[in-house]
Structure 1
Amino acid sequence: MSTTPGTHSLAFRVMRLCRPSIHVEPPLRLDPMDLFVGEDIFDDPIASSNLPPLISTTDSSNSSDLTFSSRFLLHHPSDSIGLSGLLVLPQAFGAIYLGETFCSYISINNSSNFEVRDVVIKAEIQTERQRILLLDTSKSAVESIRAGGRYDFIVEHDVKELGAHTLVCTALYSDGDGERKYLPQFFKFIVSNPLSVRTKVRVVKEITFLEACIENHTKSNLYMDQVEFEPSPNWSATMLKADEHLSDNSSQSRQIFKPPVLIKSGGGIHNYLYQLRMSATDSAPVKVQGSNILGKFQITWRTNLGEPGRLQTQQILGTPITSKDIELHVVEIPPVIRVNKPFSVSMVYFIAF
């Protein structure tokens, strides 16, 4: 078996599979008239007739000219927003975030002048904690890859760890002379946190309020599908919304057509408020290091073109609940107590601090 570098007939090429973005053409220049009149001045035929001719003489039939000075000549309402209708693929590997699905298109190319045979291909993800096997063709090796040909496959991995990741692709094959060769290739990338969740816990008259602030750390807008707080078994949770004062019809329509919550890119935030009550059936809360466990968040979102993501927070701990001993003393009882008859007893209690 040979592992000599630079003598391999095969080579891996890795491409990330992700959805394209919408290409927007910004205005190329500013017409001086835009400094003195508004864009809607041409809606009034009398006002527009008193204006001097525009300095720009660009032909409005040219759809590629999306400058501000010619956007009042619209052939379609969508022309004013500057969208060219083109979709653009990323030019680099791009950012990879926790909670997303890493999808990669891998091609193993035969650049030699002879056919290679019995190709065993493996692909795995290595992190600081574990190794995840994505593909293994040991039991069904690729019979052959012709000269100048290739073998393609797709791998997917749900990203659940932060930090450095390595995509390891290996091939074991027989070259033109029948010699078995081993090819390893490594592709490294970093997984970042797409959002942060900051929480505050306040207790007001035996009612616990939990505030959660979600901040977007990505370079794209996030549309929150679900921000659900899952309380621990000894708690019940109710989300408090600012629009609960709306009429019944408005509330019903918002329940049927739930608009997604938009958290803008580059530091946008959104706040959620929950009211927590301890269940009456539970006599004591679950405690961890002196604090009671409230529950955890399940968060799902989508990016501009619908790529999904999902995160689950760690257990959120509330303020410690301390119990106080109560001591009762009987002050006065009636001299005669009759069977099946109610009676009054005077008692006094003391709370131990």
Structure 2
Amino acid sequence: MARPRAASGADAPKEPHAVSLKVLRLSRPSLAHQSPLPIANTKISNKAPLSFPSTDSDDQFILTPNYDPALTLHTSSPSPPAFGSVYVGETFACTLSANNEITDDEIDKVVTSVRIVAEMQTPSSVASLDLEPASDSAQVEGLATGDSLQKIVRYDLKEEGNHILAVSVSYTETRIGQDAQAASGRVRTFRKLYQFVAQPCLSVRTKASELPPLEVDNKSLGPYGKTRLLRFALEAQLENVGDGAVVVKQTRLNPKPPFKSMSLNWDASSDVSEIGPPTLNPRDVLQVAFLVEQEENRHEGLEALQKDLRKEGRATLGQLSIEWRGAMGDKGFLTTGNLMSRKRT
């Protein structure tokens, strides 16, 4: 006769935790578009769905971009879909809230030493996160019934793909005896994972073309000695692949020695205020260009440049840095890898 299987600790019913965790993403408000109703022979006004009716709305063509914009505040629940669109180059910020869930009937329970630890798992690494405390009093005095311990976490997104925010909460649960003395105490902990996908906001495509070299006099080679300085034209296409409009504040090429760069874009004008930074709506493309020239009499990086030209037939020009702002002022920053010139044939 077969023996009954012995009960294990894993089979025992799990006791609910006295502390719960909520994760809310911090984000700016956005513009919500509202359209009027078509004109009909009803008693309902065609401006009924508008929060702030305007005389500028088009009653005949309600599908045109004649919207009545209103600010929408966003609140996020702990589920990953509530995080919304998350873009590379922006700062992901959220509030971690540990809440005391002890009911009024459980007056013999006390929660103390609440601690929150978080880390971000990216496609290439795992990083521990620094938390900004709203108040540290709960870790010393304990967490009263209905109170919460809140921390703020911020992380600069630098790569595409799946990201996992791992949050661990630990606390001490103590039972108070009838004589108001601590009868027993135990440390409890739990861990939750929140997954989201970081997607690009700006897509960058580059092309570098070699220009005729600039010949300058070299006195060390005699009266007829000449030095050939390399020159390149670097072009980049910036496409807005996000959901909202962005303002490109700055595009800068950080050249690698012995090169220097000169912008050929809107910021090259003497009066930038008249032109202003360009605005890219979704799927818009912005073309930027830079003139990259080898500096005269600069020896830093010259040996590495000559080695690359002999070995690979290409030169490393530098890195492109892009700064932008969202519709509500959200900051974005992106730096490409090292940009290379075309291989010489």
Please point out which of 166, 169, 176 is paired with 1:168.
Answer: 166
RMSD value, Cα: 3.5
Between stretches 298-307 and 142-151, larger displacement belongs to 142-151
Please point out which of 23, 27, 45 is paired with 2:36.
Answer: 27
Give aligned pairs, total: 282
**Per-residue deviation, 1:57:** 9.3
| 2:315 is equivalent to residue 276 of structure 1 | no
Work out whether residues 119 and 126 of structure 2, in 8 Å CA contact, stay in contact via their aligned partners in 1: no
Q: Which residue of 2 aligns with 1:154?
A: 152
**In structure 2, the residue corresponding to 1:179 is in which secondary structure?**
strand
Work out whether residues 23 and 88 of structure 1, in 8 Å CA contact, stay in contact via their aligned partners in 2: no
Q: Which residue of 2 aligns with 1:9?
A: 18
Please point out which of 203, 206, 210 is paired with 1:199.
Answer: 206
Q: Which residue of 2 aligns with 1:336?
A: none
Distance in 1, matches of 2:267 and 2:16, equals: 68
Work out whether residues 229 and 295 of structure 1, in 8 Å CA contact, stay in contact via their aligned partners in 2: yes
Please point out which of 86, 91, 97 is paired with 1:96.
Answer: 86
Work out whether residues 53 and 68 of structure 2, in 8 Å CA contact, stay in contact via their aligned partners in 1: no
Instruction: Name the amino acid aligned to 1:122.
Output: V
**Per-residue deviation, 1:70:** 9.1
Q: Which residue of 2 aligns with 1:186?
A: 193
Distance in 2, matches of 1:65 and 1:29, equals: 14
For the structure 1 residues 257 and 293, does the alpha-carbon distance in structure 2 shift closer, same or farther, using more than 3 Å as the test? same
**Per-residue deviation, 1:173:** 1.3
* 1:189-245 Cα distance to aligned partner (Å, 9 max, x none): 12112222111122232242111111111101111111111111212222224898x
Work out whether residues 125 and 134 of structure 1, in 8 Å CA contact, stay in contact via their aligned partners in 2: no
Q: Which residue of 2 aligns with 1:51?
A: none
**Per-residue deviation, 1:145:** 1.1
For the structure 1 residues 131 and 240, does the alpha-carbon distance in structure 2 shift closer, same or farther, using more than 3 Å as the test? closer
Between the two proteins, what is the percent identity of the paired residues?
Answer: 27
Unaligned runs of at least 5 residues, structure 1: 32-53, 72-79, 245-250, 323-353
Distance in 1, matches of 2:194 and 2:17, equals: 18
Work out whether residues 9 and 111 of structure 1, in 8 Å CA contact, stay in contact via their aligned partners in 2: yes
| 2:126 is equivalent to residue 130 of structure 1 | yes
Instruction: Name the amino acid aligned to 1:147.
Output: T
**Per-residue deviation, 1:293:** 0.8
Q: Which residue of 1 aligns with 2:255?
A: 231
Work out whether residues 31 and 71 of structure 2, in 8 Å CA contact, stay in contact via their aligned partners in 1: yes
Instruction: Name the amino acid aligned to 1:83.
Output: D
Distance in 1, matches of 2:267 and 2:160, equals: 37
Instruction: Name the amino acid aligned to 1:235.
Output: F
**In structure 2, the residue corresponding to 1:148 is in which secondary structure?**
coil
**In structure 1, the residue corresponding to 2:129 is in which secondary structure?**
strand
The TM-score, its normalising length taken from structure 1, stands at 0.69
**Per-residue deviation, 1:170:** 1.4
The TM-score, its normalising length taken from structure 2, stands at 0.71
Instruction: Name the amino acid aligned to 1:192.
Output: Q
Q: Which residue of 2 aligns with 1:299?
A: 322
* 1:61-95 Cα distance to aligned partner (Å, 9 max, x none): 99755552399xxxxxxxx9543544332662111
**Per-residue deviation, 1:295:** 1.0
For the structure 1 residues 56 and 143, does the alpha-carbon distance in structure 2 shift closer, same or farther, using more than 3 Å as the test? closer
Distance in 1, matches of 2:35 and 2:119, equals: 42
For the structure 1 residues 85 and 156, does the alpha-carbon distance in structure 2 shift closer, same or farther, using more than 3 Å as the test? same
* 1:319-342 Cα distance to aligned partner (Å, 9 max, x none): 3569xxxxxxxxxxxxxxxxxxxx
Work out whether residues 122 and 170 of structure 1, in 8 Å CA contact, stay in contact via their aligned partners in 2: yes
| 2:278 is equivalent to residue 261 of structure 1 | yes
| 2:102 is equivalent to residue 112 of structure 1 | yes
For the structure 1 residues 242 and 110, does the alpha-carbon distance in structure 2 shift closer, same or farther, using more than 3 Å as the test? closer
